[in-house]
Amino acid sequence: MACALVGGMQARGQPLDGIRIVEPLLAQREKLVARFSDVALHSECDAAALAGTDLVVFAVKPQQMKGAATAVAPHLAAEVVVLSIAAGIRITDLARWLGGHRRLVRAMPNTPALIGKGISGIHAADGVDAAGRGRCAAVLEAAGDVVWVAEESMLDAVTGVSGSGPAYVFYFLEALQAAARELGFSADDARRLAYATFDGAIALAKASTDDPATLRAQVTSKGGTTERAIAVMEADAVKATIMAAVKAAASRARELGDDLGKDR
């Protein structure tokens, strides 16, 4: 995800010479040097890596966050804004690992950020001013859209909707392709039909002022093929199942936050 953010900034023509990346693994540092020649690479988080920074971004796995935070803490100036995109790590726990630092922002991006098509939910602690929020938004907007949430707990809902959401889309694509194969199409044509259907439907929805229910009704003729298909989905409570799945993902995000916060 760090590469997605830096790559997004590069694609937008933003200068990279002020960015520093801490990467302990030599092989990964070599890849980063090859891709981002203007970025300064550091093997460890020390005073030199953080000197003069105004924004620190944690793009590590949740299980690595405590170690990363405790390494940063001795070198973190009070005015620096910290942005975490580690799933489930709550602000209170991050603040504790950072020795009481309060200028903290949490974000929940999703995997389409890797191609600049992501969306991130963002929440800022009370100690972050408009300028700090703007710096965080600028980084995340390099990889897609952003939605600010007033309550940190809403980031669990963001996880359920958009964080895990790409998997729901891929799951539906799997089914659409499989059905096309069973109806006689080749694997290539099944993929083309399924992907183009999603691309076109999303483009149409974004270009329209109508809500999805209205758009669906417009292509569901009385006694027609689409009506028959929707009737099967309604009989199997597909919509209710999707909604239950999103809520289950949000609930699991809360559970993970509880578990990760126990690491004192």
The reply to whether 178 falls in a domain is yes
Domain match, 96 and 182 both: no
Q: If we measure between CA atoms, which residue out of 113, 47, 112 comes closest to residue 80?
A: 47
Q: How far apart are CA 199 and CA 192, in angstroms?
A: 10
pLDDT, mean of residues 85-94: 91
Domain boundary at 122, 151, 180, which?
151
**pLDDT, greater one: 158 or 46:** 158
pLDDT band at 200 (very low <50, low <70, confident <90, very high): very high
**Nearest one of 46, 58, 53 to 77, comparing CA atoms:** 53
Look at residue 57 and tell me whether its pLDDT is greater than 90: yes
Give the mean pLDDT of 29-38. 86
pLDDT of residue 174: 97
- Looking at the fold, whether 169 and 230 belong to one and the same domain comes out as yes
For residue 263, tell me if it sits in a domain: no
Pairing of strands 40-42, 20-22: parallel
Residue 198: inside a domain: yes
**8 A C-beta contact, residue 84 and residue 107:** yes
Q: What is the rounded radius of gyration, in angstroms, for the C-alpha atoms of the chain?
A: 22
Q: How far apart are the first and last CA of the chain?
A: 26
- CA angle 122/57/12 to nearest 5° reads 80
The answer for residues whose C-beta is within 8 angstroms of residue 93's C-beta and 6 or more apart is 260, 261, 263
Give the lowest-confidence range in 68-72, 207-211, 255-259: 255-259
CB 44 within 8 A of CB 24: yes
Element (H, E) at 169: helix 165-182
Cβ atoms of 55 and 139 within 8 Å: the answer is: yes
**Is the pLDDT score of 179 beyond 90?**
yes
Q: How many domains does the chain have?
A: 2
- Statement to judge: residues 135 and 8 lie in one domain: yes
Least confident of 20-24, 78-82, 206-210, 239-243: 20-24
| Residue whose entry in the numeric block shows the structure tokens 């990964």 | 28
> How far apart (Å, rounded) are the C-alpha atoms in residues 218 and 223?
13
In this predicted structure, what is the pLDDT of residue 264?
Answer: 56
* Per-residue pLDDT tens over the stretch 203-224: 999 999 999 999 999 999 999 9
More confident residue, 225 or 48: 225
pLDDT, residue 229, reads: 97
Closest CA to 116 of 8, 191, 16: 8
- Number of helices (H), then strands (E), in the chain: 12, 7
Q: What is the pLDDT of residue 263?
A: 62
Work out the average pLDDT over 184-205: 97
Q: Identify which has the larger pLDDT, 242 or 143.
A: 242
What angle is formed at CA 263 by the lines to CA 28 and CA 153, rounded to 5 degrees?
90
The helix (H) or strand (E) run that includes residue 240 is helix 238-261
For residue 92 the two structure tokens come to: 């209170």
Specify the CATH number for the domain of residue 209.
Answer: 1.10.3730.10
The span from the CA of 223 to the CA of 141, in Å, is 45
Q: Is the pLDDT of residue 18 over 90?
A: no
- Do 141 and 87 share a structural domain? yes
Please work out, in degrees rounded to the nearest 5, the angle formed at the alpha carbon of residue 120 by the alpha carbons of 23 and 143.
60
Residue 243 phi, psi dihedral angles, 5° rounding: -60, -40
Co-location of 132 and 216 in the same domain: no
Q: Are residues 33 and 145 in the same domain?
A: yes
Residues 146, 228 share a domain = no
Expressed as residue numbers, the domain containing 46 is 2-151
